[in-house]
Amino acid sequence: MPSSRTRHRKPKMKTRRANDDVSPPNNDRTTCSFDDMTLGILRPEKTVFFLVFIVFIGSIVYELNVAPDSIFSNPQNLFNQVFVKWGWGWTLCLLTPYMVLSGLLTCNKQWYLLLKDGLRLVIATFFWYITVNIFLAIEQATGACDVEGFATKKSCVHADSNWKGFDISGHTFILMHSMLTILEELRSMNAVCKYKYSTDHHNKWLSKILPPFIYIFAILLLLLCCLWVWMLLCTAVYFHTFLEKIIAAVTAIAIWLLTYQFWYQKTFSPGSPVRTVE
């Protein structure tokens, strides 16, 4: 006979293990290791302390006169004459196409942002030109030729003589100014990475074509920074007095603070390299 007591079976509940992923798949979980590196380890706010450390330690080595002679102790060496002497030119050759390409990708049809990017380069070039010429004027005003009859440094050097004046290190300034500018502009890699994986970009063609070229120029800029770091160390170890290098370093840092850290954060400015991706 069937039992008068009806058995109600409880449905079996599937227990969820602690390591089960219950969150829905998220297609936006894309990371950019290149961006993490440039905006983390090479963040300008951190790098500036490293550059000052190089100048300070190198200057101590110079004052102690313990560095051995090498190819880099000769001011006529290839790296000094071809790269450092034209340092700002090399920086512009790589930084300009990077900024143009990354700007095209991330401007979101706000083309005036490209003009702002270009204005930042113009301002950086203006500060480079003015500062270097001020340094040269100071050397001219405070110096004298070791041979009588030559009133200018140019005529003194052409006569195979030495001009002795307060020679603020233009190379220290150019190298630090270039590196801080490059690292600040590489902040735009954040937006480049996001647009690379975006499915809602204003121009699908640009989002497919431009990123590889942007990455190439970004990597070349980082390699150039590595060369600039090495040449900064060589400059600190082999050339100029401690005060001449410190003044140059402080000038480069002051320009960086005035522009990228203060002025470019304001409304009426060329703006920050950082793009907001919605």
**Catalytic residues, which ones?**
171, 240
With the C-alpha atoms ordered 104, 110, 112, 117, is the resulting torsion angle positive or negative? Answer: negative
The percent helix, strand, coil of the chain (3-state, each to 5) is 65, 0, 30
How far apart CA 248 and CA 131 sit, in angstroms, is 9
- Contact status, residue 232 vs residue 175, Cβ threshold 8 Å: yes
Scanning the structure block, which residue is given the tokens 């233009």? Answer: 170
DSSP string, 181-238: HHHHHGGGHHHHHHHHH-SS-S-HHHHHHHHHHHHHHHHHHHHHHHHHHHHHHHHHHH
Specify whether the CB–CB gap between 94 and 270 falls below 8 A.
no
CB distance 232 to 197 below 8 Å: no
74 phi and psi angles, rounded to 5 deg: -95, 115
Q: How many helices (H) and strands (E) does the chain have?
A: 10, 2
Q: How many CB atoms lie within 10 A of CB 126?
A: 10
* Residues in the chain, overall count: 278
Q: Which of 82, 79, 181 is nearest to 124 (CA)?
A: 181
One-letter amino acid identity for 207?
Answer: S
